[in-house]
Each structure stands twice: as C-alpha cells, then as structure tokens.
Homo-oligomer: A and B are copies of this chain.
Amino acid sequence: MTAGAEIDWADHALTTLQEAGHRRGGARTAVVEALAAHDCAVTALDLDDELARRRPRVARASVYRALEQLEQLGLVRRIEVGRGVAGYERVDPTGHHHHHAICRDCGRMVPFEDRSLERAIGKLCEDLDFEVAEHDVVLRGRCQHCSL
C-alpha cells in the first residue's frame, strides 16, 4: 500500500462531494476523515463513538446521513457485517477492492482478495440478464484464533 492513501481518498471524497453540489459542512468532513483512517469496514455506531468527543459534537444522524450520501456517490461501500449491522469502508477509485471472511465466534473480519474470484464474477455478470453495479462476497466460519 502506498503511504498516504487515506489522505488521498479523503481529498478525493471531499472533492467529489463538492462537485456533486454539496456544501462543505463540519460533520460530514469529520465522517470522511474518520473513514479515511480505517482501511477496512467500520460500523456507523463505531464512527459515532469516535466522533462523540469532538466539539461541537457530531450528531448520530449526521453520521448516518453522511454515510448514505457517500454511498450514493460510490465513495464508500456498505457491507453487512452480520445480524443486521452494516459496516462501511472507503472505495478505492481505481476499483481495487477486497472481500471479507467473518468469524462466527468472535466477529473478527479478515479481508482477502482473489484475482480468479474476481474474474469468475466478471464473467458470470456478462451472461446474466441483470445490470450488475457491484458485488459482495462473504465467507463465514471460524478464524485462525477461534478454531484452536
């Protein structure tokens, strides 16, 4: 990973927001910065927690609102991290991405990427009567730590 990828992303995100006609507000900027600091998925409540100590406090509603807008613009992707909780992670504009293995026992998320998986998905999407915009792969089981 190239150093400063997060900073680049935050910059890119703020620019895209502006170009989409959004004003520049403190709460949303804080959410973007917080997201930039994580390279894998975080829940909205985790973000809310991180931003709770700011002054003025970032409201929970603002976190959700920002995440929704970012998702709409394709700047973050939303993934289900189990039992009705959503995780959000920044989207690399190059399309480079990873998927997740989630431990049933401890909830740990192990990211992975696989070239031939992507190839298979790309191919099957062509043959499908469906305009596929994004895909999600989740593996569930026991992580190395829990399967001892």
- Give the B-binding residues of A (Cβ under 8 A): 80, 84-86, 101, 103-104, 110, 112, 114, 116-117, 119-121, 123-125, 128-144, 147
Contacts and interface: CB of A to CB of B under 8 A. Distances in A.
B123 A132 contact: no
- Count this chain's copies in the assembly: 2
B136 A140 contact: yes
A124 B120 contact: no
Contacts of A123: 116
Given A138-B136, A141-B134, A114 B124 contact: yes
Contact of A120 (B85, B120, B133): B120
Given A129-B143, A134-B141, A135-B139, 16 more contacts: A101-B130, A110-B128, A114-B120, A116-B123, A119-B120, A121-B139, A130-B142, A130-B143, A131-B142, A131-B143, A132-B141, A133-B142, A134-B140, A135-B140, A136-B136, A137-B137
